[in-house]
Amino acid sequence: MSRRVRFLFSLAAAIAAASLLAASLRRRAQPPRLPDQLVPGPMAARNRSFVLWLHGLGDSGPANEPIRTFFAAPEFRHTKWAFPSAPNSPVSCNNGAVMPSWFDIHELPLSPGSPQDESGVLKAVENVHAMIDREVAGGIHPDNIFVCGFSQGGALTLASVLLYPKTLGGGAVFSGWVPFGSSVIERISPEARKTPILWSHGIADQVVLFEAGQAGPPFLQSAGISCEFKAYPDLGHSIAKEELSSLEAWIKGRLKASQDKQS
């Protein structure tokens, strides 16, 4: 296969993954925009929890905002949502093509043995931590903060919650992978090891292979971290409604436990 054909195949795979996610979300009717859930303002003081969603390669934060429409339970009435966009950067797996990317990706499809951009991941983690710190400074308890992400955003989610110095409400990884080696385990604080992880992955995923997702729980177990792993048959590199329903129930349970603990 020529270099140009490989490039086009990789680029098409990345863009197709982002398109699948956007299409699956647009199937659900979108309600009017809720500024108080996304931007600090007069309602900000009422926020009791925070959900940060990190998108995948080539996607954008605004394209993922319909995700919040799946979270209609009363527990999310005072939840602040944030959907940041990754900076535009050259991506190695696409022959240096510039696109929204949290860090570099060297090859697609991703497998457990794929090379990692650890320095880029750690730099992106710093930016995520700054977003979390702002919410904590604004009065939201770390136990009520949840970081979630799809694909590349899922890998960044994992890195961000593991390296945050405090226990968070949880981290939810969708079709992601472990973006660094085992040497990072010694940098995980005792408090961060208490943050629960929800990991969801489609068995038919051909972009981030299911085997890459399966490598997550053993990695976390070696660090003494709890992980709930859910496999979805016939699901490719996309997000299913069932995954978001599971996430809603998962977060609700942790919000209730947090409220009971703080009362």
Please count the other Cβ atoms lying within 10 Å of the Cβ belonging to residue 150: 30
Q: Is the per-residue pLDDT at 6 higher than 60?
A: no
**Domains: count for the chain:** 1
Catalytic residue among 55, 160, 237, 258: 237
pLDDT recorded at residue 239: 97
Domain membership of residue 37 (yes or no) is no
Catalytic residue among 49, 101, 151, 258: 151
Q: Is the per-residue pLDDT at 48 higher than 80?
A: yes
Domain membership of residue 134 (yes or no) is yes
Domain membership of residue 144 (yes or no) is yes
Contacts of 45 (CB under 8 A, 6+ apart): 139
CA-wise closest residue to 121 among 201, 183, 49: 183
| Distance from C-alpha of 132 to C-alpha of 115, rounded to nearest angstrom | 28
Domain membership of residue 117 (yes or no) is yes
Which of 10-14, 144-148, 175-179, 236-240 comes out lowest in average pLDDT?
A: 10-14
State what percent of residues in the chain have pLDDT above 70. Answer: 81
Residue 208 DSSP label = B
Phi-psi region for residue 79, left (φ > 0), alpha (ψ -120 to 50) or beta?
A: beta
Domain of 198: which CATH number? 3.40.50.1820
pLDDT recorded at residue 262: 64
Instruction: Give the range of the structural domain holding residue 129, as residue numbers without chain letter.
Output: 49-262
Catalytic residue among 59, 200, 205, 258: 205
Domain membership of residue 16 (yes or no) is no
pLDDT recorded at residue 5: 35
pLDDT recorded at residue 20: 44
Report whether 252 contacts 222 (CB < 8 A).
no
Contacts of 126 (CB under 8 A, 6+ apart): none
pLDDT recorded at residue 256: 79
- Confidence (pTM): 0.84
Query: For the residues 65-79, what does the mean pLDDT come to?
Result: 96
Q: pLDDT per residue over 11-31, tens digit each?
A: 444 444 444 444 444 443 333
Average pLDDT over the chain, rounded to an integer? 87
pLDDT recorded at residue 257: 74
Q: pLDDT per residue over 194-222, tens digit each?
A: 999 999 999 999 999 999 999 999 999 99
Domain membership of residue 130 (yes or no) is yes
For 103, phi then psi, to 5°, come to -160, 175
Domain membership of residue 187 (yes or no) is yes
| Distance from C-alpha of 98 to C-alpha of 87, rounded to nearest angstrom | 10
* Alpha-carbon Rg for the chain in angstroms: 18
Domain membership of residue 90 (yes or no) is yes
pLDDT recorded at residue 187: 97
Active site residue 237: yes
Q: Is the per-residue pLDDT at 246 higher than 70?
A: yes
Q: pLDDT per residue over 104-152, tens digit each?
A: 999 999 999 999 999 999 999 999 999 999 999 999 999 999 999 999 9
Amino acid occupying residue 36: D
pLDDT recorded at residue 10: 43
Strand partners of residue 199? 173, 229
Q: pLDDT per residue over 146-158, tens digit each?
A: 999 999 999 999 9
Report whether 53 contacts 9 (CB < 8 A).
no
Report whether 217 contacts 189 (CB < 8 A).
no
